[in-house]
Amino acid sequence: MTAMNGYVLIDKPKGWTSFDVVNYIRRMVQQNGLDIAELKPGENRKKRFPAGHTGTLDPSATGLMVVLLGKYTKRAMELTKLDKTYDVTMTLGKASTTGDQEGDITEVSELVPTAEALQAALVKFTGDIMQVPPAFSAMKVNGQRAYKLARAGKEVVLEARPARINANVLQSYEYPIVNFSADVSSGTYIRSLVEDIGRELGTGAYMSDLRRTKVGAFSIGDAVDVQYMTPSELQRRLKRL
């Protein structure tokens, strides 16, 4: 049997964590003996099969995950640094405590920006920018995850850090809903980008939906919904660089 070394492209559904996806694929490999070629004679098959991914998606987000299997998990850092593209939906006129639809939503402004003003804001936040990560993020503050401190009601102060926005392309606009695509560097926070655009417009904004469509040269069009993955499909779709 061919060793399960490589990557598989997964379309993550809403409600699943990135860990859920990786663990689902890992269990499929182990429960169906697909990792048997990885084992040395006499080695315990219950040993945890190595699996990982190249970038976390929030549970409320959907889209492309590159899941690494076997020896390919050693290439995680290399592949994590790839640029990413997202389809973004943002809602104007309101703000969220978490920057997305999961937080407490409050009214900010009834101002209705023109399409021209919106386009100008999208253009302004392209290129190399400084970005403050959301308080509800996995960034560490004094050794603790920022989101844990924020959930405990503690003040979270994060420093601005460099990010690169290759392009923001407006797809549609019908107030208060804006749809645009964002091609960004690894480590860019789309929630922060949306909040920055909302401040620039003077209306406030929060990210109401997010779908990742590309990771480097990998595309969502080549991915399969994890819920429809089968052992035979996994073997068929396993790729190597």
Strand partners, 173: 178
Residue 122 φ then ψ, to 5°:
-65, -40
Decide: helix, strand or coil at residue 191: helix
Structure tokens belonging to residue 62:
């959907």
Structure tokens belonging to residue 216:
């480097």
Q: Is residue 207 within 8 Å of 102, Cβ to Cβ?
A: no
Query: Which residues are CB-contacts of 60 (< 8 A; sequence separation ≥ 6)?
Result: 14, 15, 100, 101, 102, 210
Does the active-site annotation cover 58? yes
Nearest residue to 8 (alpha-carbon basis) of 75, 85, 65, 71: 65
Q: Residue 175 class from Cβ within 10 Å (0-12 exposed, 13-18 middle, 19+ buried)? A: middle
- Residues comprising the chain, all counted: 241
Please identify which of the residues 11, 20, 35, 58 carries the catalytic annotation. 58
* Distance in angstroms (rounded) separating the CA atoms of residues 163 and 145: 20
**Could you tell me the sign of the dihedral formed by the alpha carbons of 174, 175, 177, 178, in that order?**
positive
* Distance in angstroms (rounded) separating the CA atoms of residues 107 and 103: 13
Active site residues: 58
